[in-house]
A = this chain, B = another copy of it.
Amino acid sequence: MRSENGTSGQKSRSFIEEARRAQIVAAAIEVIAEAGYGQASLARIAKHAGISKGVISYHFAGKDELMEEVVERTYGGIAEHVMARMEGLTTATELLRAYVLAVAEHMRGHRAQLAALGEIFHNFRDADGKPRYGVHTSEQIYQTLEHFYRMGQESGEFRDFDVRVMAVTQSAAIDNMFAYWAAHPEHDLDAHANELADLFERACRA
């Protein structure tokens, strides 16, 4: 998302600054994934990163900003990979299958990110106590899926169904596939993803 434009006038972070932020984000991901959001104190993250506690405060405005950056970077990585895998596909059936498989493929190599993302989504709250992320944050994903469903319905590939329910369900199915895999590391993620693709193809098709 951040510009790598050499001619732009926008200020950019120094190399060392960027490296530190990345290091801290990585440490945060590992600690959150392992110990859970509630135990992921700045002290613990700093210790895991091998740095002083104050360094985090120096590079991030606060814990909130750190959490947001974890989400941002992780999401960015997923989106980038999935977009690439879906490029050039045209039918709704193909797109949906590619979507499921691409997310699974990417996550297979980023298990901790996955767990951390879930922890943050379920726990991170604003100062006013409202969840910072959550179902309402998934709106973008829902709309993307709904777009594919409508494509399929208009092309005749898919039957008539409630696209919102289908989007919520498919999104949940994918999320839980990862949760199950996280709890059962020997579970065959790719096979699961293929089963899911079949499942939703059958659930959608005319």
Contacts and interface: CB of A to CB of B under 8 A. Distances in A.
Interface of A: 34-39, 118-119, 122-123, 125, 129, 131, 134-136, 161-162, 165-166, 168-169, 171-173, 175-177, 179-180, 182-184, 191-192, 195-196, 198-200, 202-203
Nearest to A118: B122
Contacts of A200: 203
A165 B123 contact: no
Contacts of A165: 177, 191-192, 195-196, 199
A204 to B, nearest CB: 8
A195 to B, nearest CB: 4
A127 to B, nearest CB: 11
Given A123-B122, A169-B173, A175-B172, A131 B36 contact: yes
A180 B135 contact: yes
Nearest to A166: B199
B184 A162 contact: no
A129 B39 contact: yes
A163 to B, nearest CB: 10
B129 A36 contact: yes
Contact of A125 (B36, B125, B198): B36
A72 to B, nearest CB: 21
Contacts of A131: 36
A19 to B, nearest CB: 20
B183 A134 contact: yes
Contact of A36 (B34, B123, B175): B123
A104 to B, nearest CB: 12
Chain B CB within 10 A, most for which of A119, A134, A177, A183: A183
Given A38-B123, A173-B173, A195-B162, A180 B202 contact: no
Given A118-B122, A134-B183, 12 more contacts: A37-B123, A119-B122, A123-B123, A135-B182, A161-B199, A166-B199, A168-B192, A172-B175, A172-B176, A175-B176, A199-B203, A200-B203
